[in-house]
Structure 1
Amino acid sequence: MKYVFIEKHQAEFSIKAMCRVLQVARSGWYVWHQRRHQINRRQHFRLVCDNVVREAFSDANSAMVRHA
């Protein structure tokens, strides 16, 4: 996809020039780029929450006293 190409080469070329050459709207690229980072933040938050829940259950299970 054109947006992925722009993202990979933004250190080498200006975003404005790449958008012009690839015939994509710069505003479209910025919307795509922002959305992509929001998804990454959401995924990171979910991983952190999963780890917290996993640790809480692990701690609760290890603290349980088992009676025969």
Structure 2
Amino acid sequence: MRELVMLLLIGSLFIQLPLAVVMYFDAKRLDLRNPEQYWLGVVVPTVGFIVILYYFSERRNLPKKSDADS
């Protein structure tokens, strides 16, 4: 059982890390405020999948840097 849990955690990290990198660069491209918070949220095992779903569903509505300046 322990081997299965370790395999699932490692597998989820192999899925989450590339997605985290893509989300970070996408957030920088969209000029969002604090793009690193999305990257860090995805890296957390299992909870990161919730952050991935939230980011991709709301990415057009997330706060931008230009909103904070005005």
Q: Above 0.5 in TM-score?
A: no
Asked which structure has the greater RCO (Cα within 8 Å, sep 6+), the reply is 2
Q: TM-score range by the shorter chain?
A: 0.3 to 0.5
- Provide TM-score, normalisation by structure 1: 0.37
Larger radius of gyration, structure 1 or 2? 1
Higher share in helix: 1
- Provide TM-score, normalisation by structure 2: 0.37
